[in-house]
Structure 1
């Protein structure tokens, strides 16, 4: 009996212990869930802004769970009960994404690690979203935030996850992972990255310097020597020396020096992969100059098996992509791991969601522009030009008057494109070198300031005003072969405008279709007459009303800008492009059709 009672007592003790353990575990789990629910803003007394979005938080929880915030709130500048702080200013985390920050905050509140969310995906629907760029950037931000907030257990979790991605990501992703590991003391990740980078990427030293900096690039170079992967011949060393000189000239934007070095050297521009380097690191204007010189074949592959187009896709610069495709770059060539240019862009770009910050939105817009250019270049269909454009192109030009008629139509069409599709228009204008010719408006400054009507709008510019501004008796250079000779300045402008429209049809057919809608509805015919036929005026009134306000404002600004720039140098293309983009983003001037994708 005594033994039985003792056994029963022992059994009850174990049951109580198990019940206590079970109850405690459930309690703490429930506590974490309850605290996470406070992230909806309930009872918050503190706000942190991340990439433009405000997160309502609680001082007491942050102070109790995180030493970084405990020290922050004790700072004399943070004494007010309600304070708004920017994460980039207080923690040097300007580029951390909202999703990564929220994941770290949820760990602080609830004690649970949930590293990845379903919203972190790329634009490629065929991707598994396991090792694409948005996922890698998300985990990098997670590690950086955990390290800055002094959460070593969370930092270790992010480091371990990135180590598992090192063998799965393309070589170009490793540089950012390596820099994050070096900055935040993730030694295991750093050692893993440097060994894979040394074995996987056959980059030239200058590109490594650009991506990693001198110190890390030297470490990769020395490791490659140690592993026996860097055993250059005398010819390789001579080529590397010449490549180094060409790349330094490109860094200085000195195209003339590049030509001189190639003329004096033993290797071609393709041998030193100069166009690859320019597409990856130089301004788009320099790339255009190099393409116009035809120093290189854009389809040549570098040591890593990438074409120039692949390198340009990694930058997601639509201007460079369009220039390469216009010079014969093949859009369907694949990388050694089987990616096309479109897939490179898609897997670099995060798909939009609720946590889409402004920087990612701008990045996605550039990516979608790149994708439209690549997809249109890959489609082998005949270009369908508008009726009015075909008529203008086929119009015989034997007199100054006919030249002005042709010029007015093209100026009107390109001017309308600049208003409705500023970014797309800027790309094709740069490719056609339109900036090298003088703008022709056909309306004097006084007329431009008036309200737009059927007889004085840019779409219905009066021929008499145009001829008054550019008279046939001008002393400009003439072109032989026509009666009386034609102004060479106007002819160059016509050629550049016509090429601009043709490139627009090629790369942005959807934008061109919208322009066709406005220009083809008998509007082009009336652009060449002094007065609009009263019988036809009523049929065009509705469409004119749609364009009246936007064209009046844009045309007045164009004339003012042209007059202002007469005595000053032109802005660099990069500044002009950004200005156009900012204007295009305004809801009052941007057409709803401009959204791509």
Structure 2
């Protein structure tokens, strides 16, 4: 057994052996603070469903916010809040044994339908613990890496939702805190992002914040029709009054041609009624066009996707026209985050490169409106991707396609410059290599795509076999003939690759990544030392597996689209059949 090292000193011992003084005792105030912090920490755990599900009541979110429910404890909320005490006391007894009393948030407080779980839980946590947790980062950060996230839309939406909850639950100290934060946003946010602040200020009767927001919107470039549609009548009238006092000539311009304004309003009313046929009649009866009425912008903001698609079939609108605020229809569709409308515009030639007056393109608009958690969270089985994710995906694919086309244009322009001929040849080699890999991995599909693009009728470029042949000169072929031959091959291969991207996007992404990172010598498995051949075969097997997985995804996507199209066509056929039956009965 180890000997004890503890020693005892006599009173006459030297000062060096004097034991250190005991630590100072905590004051009652400090002990009270420690006890309260521990109590708060323990109470906070009760709101975590992973800790222990001992809740005896539920606060249900609105359907638009997922329709989930947050478990709460009546005794704690009733003791901490007179608001919840009164509401729990007025609830009828449960209809069945074990059923929990349920408060519907949409009916519980003004603006309750806007409150999401990320904002509700911290506000409830304040009632439990007396402390307000910091906002969850993934709920207040947008998808745009270039954004500072100081006043992007997710950050604003979180505070707006928190304000609805704090005001509704009558927590005055949180109302003051959130009001200060929203006031800071009014000074720094984008014009359209101030609109939700106007709504919460009006609903929660925050007059100072409301006046500040109205002043900001009145001097903005936001379109009057947009404001009239988005804001309550009394709020819109106040903005009109402010604008008329600031811009004295606006009222005169508004009544410059009342007949024109009347016709425009009739077109927009027809769109509100989803009556595209009436829109067509109104256009024929007057000199007003869809562009004059900014009808495509209006439909992109407020119409159903099917109605919007019917409107575009009138073929009389400029899909890249900018309204008075400098927004194209695609910009507005991105603000709405409706993937079907975005896709319809892109297919009609809407440019993803156009920018708003503050420098945002459609892709940036979508990313700054989308929370990071909405795109990065793992989907449950059979769960569909969110609309925000689909919007970003559509625009990202279109940007890739545009970038690819611009690369080809720049290459074609560079052919005329002798110093850049080698760049043209290298591009042709890259395309040949890419198509060669595609023919190895899925020969039938590649052969079909090449036939559609007429790449099988052009002569294969020798550079894929031997780079040294680039400098060879055919005495029977003039430079003009050679350029024409190579350009025809480049065009055919470019079209082949573009078709491959459209119908096999996942496979194309795998090949893109491989061709950037790896050597194209992988095509020739039998060259090099035995060690080189072994490594090539291993890497080729890995690439083959990656392509197989990607091809499975592409086939699944095509199958889903086909089944959707067949079901819609069958429903249309049934609808026509029912109509014909009704007509036959009427004729009898």
Distance of 1:546 and 1:346 partners within structure 2: 25
SS in 2 for 1:299: coil
1:505-544 deviation per Cα after TM superposition (whole angstroms, max 9, x unaligned): 6667515859x9xxxxxxxxxxxxxxxxxxxxxxxxxxxx
The equivalent residue for 1:352 is 373
User: Within 5 Å, which residues of 2 pair with 1:175-194?
Assistant: 175-194=195-214
Distance of 1:334 and 1:546 partners within structure 2: 33
The equivalent residue for 2:448 is 388
Distance of 1:101 and 1:149 partners within structure 2: 11
2:221 is the alignment partner of 1:161: no
2:82 is the alignment partner of 1:67: yes
The equivalent residue for 1:28 is 36
1:77-115 deviation per Cα after TM superposition (whole angstroms, max 9, x unaligned): 256787253543662534421110111011111212235
**Count of matched residue positions in the alignment of Structure 1 and Structure 2:** 426
Offset at residue 160 of structure 1 (A) = 1.7
- Select 1:148's aligned residue among 165, 168, 184: 168
The equivalent residue for 1:88 is 105
Distance of 1:294 and 1:178 partners within structure 2: 37
Larger radius of gyration: 2
User: Within 5 Å, which residues of 2 pair with 1:292-441?
Assistant: 292-352=313-373, 362-381=386-405, 386-391=446-451
Offset at residue 22 of structure 1 (A) = 4.3
Q: CA 1:144–1:297 in 2, change beyond 3 Å: closer, same or farther? A: same
Contact 1:122 1:348 in 2 (8 A): yes
Q: CA 1:310–1:43 in 2, change beyond 3 Å: closer, same or farther? A: closer
Select between 354-363 and 28-37 the one with higher mean Cα deviation.
354-363
Distance of 2:186 and 2:74 partners within structure 1: 37
Contact 2:503 2:554 in 1 (8 A): no
Distance of 1:559 and 1:198 partners within structure 2: 49
Offset at residue 35 of structure 1 (A) = 2.4
Offset at residue 180 of structure 1 (A) = 1.8
SS in 2 for 1:231: helix
Q: CA 1:277–1:88 in 2, change beyond 3 Å: closer, same or farther? A: same
The equivalent residue for 1:222 is 241
The equivalent residue for 1:122 is 142
Distance of 2:556 and 2:353 partners within structure 1: 43
2:58 is the alignment partner of 1:39: no
Offset at residue 125 of structure 1 (A) = 1.6
The equivalent residue for 1:289 is 310
Distance of 2:560 and 2:369 partners within structure 1: 38
Offset at residue 141 of structure 1 (A) = 0.9
SS in 1 for 2:149: coil
Select between 212-221 and 355-364 the one with higher mean Cα deviation.
355-364
Offset at residue 279 of structure 1 (A) = 1.5
Q: CA 1:557–1:126 in 2, change beyond 3 Å: closer, same or farther? A: closer
Offset at residue 119 of structure 1 (A) = 1.9
Contact 1:349 1:363 in 2 (8 A): no
Contact 2:297 2:332 in 1 (8 A): yes
Contact 2:91 2:101 in 1 (8 A): no
Q: CA 1:74–1:253 in 2, change beyond 3 Å: closer, same or farther? A: closer
Offset at residue 193 of structure 1 (A) = 1.4
Contact 1:45 1:81 in 2 (8 A): no
Offset at residue 257 of structure 1 (A) = 3.4
2:194 is the alignment partner of 1:174: yes
Distance of 1:312 and 1:114 partners within structure 2: 35
Offset at residue 372 of structure 1 (A) = 3.2
Residue segments in structure 1 that go unaligned for 5+ positions in a row: 1-14, 396-500, 517-544, 572-597
Residue segments in structure 2 that go unaligned for 5+ positions in a row: 1-23, 409-430, 436-444, 456-495, 512-551, 579-588
Q: CA 1:279–1:547 in 2, change beyond 3 Å: closer, same or farther? A: closer
Distance of 2:393 and 2:341 partners within structure 1: 12
Offset at residue 203 of structure 1 (A) = 0.7
User: Within 5 Å, which residues of 2 pair with 1:199-278?
Assistant: 199-204=219-224, 206-228=225-247, 230-233=250-253, 235=256, 237=258, 239-278=260-299
SS in 1 for 2:313: helix
The equivalent residue for 1:57 is 72
Contact 1:239 1:272 in 2 (8 A): no
Q: CA 1:110–1:82 in 2, change beyond 3 Å: closer, same or farther? A: farther
Distance of 1:272 and 1:19 partners within structure 2: 74
Distance of 1:356 and 1:549 partners within structure 2: 19
Select between 278-287 and 552-561 the one with higher mean Cα deviation.
552-561
Say which structure, 1 or 2, has more relative contact order (CA 8 Å, 6+ apart).
1
The two structures have a TM-score, normalised by structure 2, of: 0.62
SS in 1 for 2:353: coil
User: Within 5 Å, which residues of 2 pair with 1:502-513?
Assistant: 509-510=504-505
Distance of 1:47 and 1:504 partners within structure 2: 56
SS in 2 for 1:232: helix
Contact 2:342 2:391 in 1 (8 A): no
Contact 1:346 1:367 in 2 (8 A): no
Contact 1:174 1:193 in 2 (8 A): yes
Distance of 2:325 and 2:75 partners within structure 1: 53
